[in-house]
């Protein structure tokens, strides 16, 4: 098994994703002005999580609509931006398409979309809480922090050769965001439960012990639903990992957990011996859509 505390393991990181992860806080484009409210945000692809985290509605009849074009939306984002622009609504496009405030594609772009959105809607304080939580997390997550003190390395070993199942009852969109991170960085398949998660855990995992990959449940956050899920899952999966949130606002907690999972996916890629970056494979998709 590869050793995350040895330098040669990091040779697989050919494009230096560790540096992008380390220097994430404060990166990305900055809005040129404060945009008039009320605000709304529509998020695609890499911009989806930011729109969900912002809590903004996805449509407005006046003020500013932010269209976060971070994905393969088959032209839907551009079409909606056209429809939305009226005398009373200003449309601000962000993303890697022509004519938008440029935000290059990256599995770490969700943070940058969120940062842009918070700055553009005058929420500097919320952003500084998020950034503080990420910088605090970073102290324990970088490659030079050894396994015994590094929760992302530890979680990566737990998930190795297992199929992760993400459950985040306090903010369900985090599950899909985790699934995306593990695919794009970790090159790994993972599972998310449907809306009725507890029912799903009780019935869908009933016959699992006899077949397929061993499952590892990752419980994000805390509270009654996490406690119930743990009780149900303990006898049904191979491993249960609890990831309690750090201190801070609900927004800061969600982004900090996302950051922890990004580092975990990074270490998982290294344990599988694959490059944690993904530019070529997605380039073709960008051309096709």
CB of residue 110 to its own copies, shortest distance in Å: 10
Span interacting with its own copies, options 1-9, 93-101, 117-125, 190-198, rule CB under 8 A: 190-198
**Is residue 60 close enough to count as binding its own copies by CB under 8 A?**
no
Q: Which helix (H) or strand (E) holds 269?
A: helix 250-272
Shortest spacing between CB 173 and its own copies, in angstroms: 8
Classify 90 as helix, strand or coil.
Answer: strand
- Would you count residue 55 as binding its own copies (CB under 8 A)? no
Binders in 261-280 for its own copies, by CB under 8 A? 272, 274, 278
Binds its own copies by CB under 8 A, chosen from 50, 205, 254, 257: 205
Letter string b/e over residues 222-232, b meaning 16 or more CB atoms within 10 A of that residue's CB: eeebbeebeeb
Per CB under 8 A, does 202 bind its own copies?
Answer: yes
Other Cβ atoms closer than 10 A to 235: 8
Q: Which is nearer to its own copies, 129 or 175 (CB)?
A: 175
- Residue 17's alpha-carbon distances to 11, 21, 84, 247, 282, in angstroms, are 11, 6, 36, 27, 16
163 binds its own copies (CB under 8 A): yes
Q: Which of 3, 61, 199, 247 binds its own copies (CB under 8 A)?
A: 199
Cα distances from 152 to residues 94, 157, 202, 261, in angstroms, run: 31, 9, 28, 7
79 makes contact with its own copies (CB under 8 A): no
Indicate the angle between helix axes 250-272 and 173-184, nearest 10 degrees: 30
C-alpha 107/C-alpha 118 separation (Å) is: 19
Contact call for residue 46 and its own copies (CB under 8 A): yes
Taking residue 63's Cβ as centre, other Cβ atoms within 10 Å add up to 15
* Number of chain residues interacting with its own copies (CB under 8 A): 50
The single residue among 72, 96, 154, 157 that binds its own copies, judged by CB under 8 A, is 72
> What is the number of other CB atoms lying within 10 angstroms of the CB of residue 241?
17
CB-nearer residue toward its own copies: 173 or 246: 173
- Min dist CB 34 to its own copies, Å, is 28
Composition of the chain by helix, strand, coil, percent to 5: 45, 15, 40
CB of 129 to its own copies, least distance (A): 25
> At its nearest, how many Å lie between its own copies and the CB of residue 196?
5
**Closer CB to its own copies, 228 or 241, in the complex:** 228
Smallest gap from residue 202 Cβ to its own copies (A)? 5
CA within 13 Å, CB half, 37:
9
The owner of tokens 């297992």 is: 162
Q: Is 234 in the site for its own copies (CB under 8 A)?
A: no
Alpha helices in 60-150 (DSSP H): 76-84, 109-120, 124-141
Helix residue ranges per DSSP H, 121-190 = 124-141, 151-159, 173-184
Task: Check residue 193 for interaction with its own copies (CB under 8 A).
Answer: yes
Per CB under 8 A, residues contacting its own copies are: 45-46, 48, 71-72, 74, 161, 163, 176-177, 179-180, 182-184, 187-196, 198-200, 202-208, 211-213, 224-225, 228, 232, 272, 274, 278, 281-282, 285, 288-289
């Amino acid at each position: 098994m590869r050793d995350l505390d040895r330098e040669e393991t990091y040779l697989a990181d050919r494009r230096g994703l560790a540096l992008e992860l380390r220097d994430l806080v404060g990166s990305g484009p900055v809005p040129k002005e404060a945009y008039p409210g009320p605000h709304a945000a529509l998020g695609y692809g890499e911009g989806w999580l930011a729109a969900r985290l912002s809590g903004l509605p996805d449509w407005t009849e006046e003020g500013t609509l932010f269209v976060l074009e971070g994905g393969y939306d088959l032209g839907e984002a551009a079409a909606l931006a056209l429809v939305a622009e009226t005398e009373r609504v200003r449309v601000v496009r962000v993303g890697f398409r022509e004519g938008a405030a440029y935000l290059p594609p990256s599995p770490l772009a969700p943070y940058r979309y969120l940062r842009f959105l918070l700055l553009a809607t005058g929420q500097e304080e919320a952003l500084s809480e998020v950034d503080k939580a990420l910088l605090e997390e970073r102290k324990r997550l970088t490659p030079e922090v050894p396994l015994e003190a590094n929760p992302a390395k530890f979680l990566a070993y737990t998930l190795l050769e297992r199929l992760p199942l993400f459950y985040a009852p306090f903010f369900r969109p985090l599950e899909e965001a985790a699934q995306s991170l593990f695919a794009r960085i970790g090159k790994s398949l993972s599972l998310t439960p449907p809306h009725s998660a507890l029912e799903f855990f009780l019935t869908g995992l009933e016959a699992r012990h006899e077949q397929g990959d061993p499952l590892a449940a990752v419980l994000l956050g805390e509270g009654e639903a996490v406690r119930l899920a743990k009780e149900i899952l303990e006898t049904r999966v191979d491993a249960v990992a609890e990831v309690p949130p750090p201190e801070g606002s609900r927004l800061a907690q969600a982004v900090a957990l996302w950051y922890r999972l990004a580092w975990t996916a990074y270490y998982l890629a290294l344990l599988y011996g694959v490059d944690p970056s993904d530019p070529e494979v997605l380039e073709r998709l960008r051309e096709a859509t």
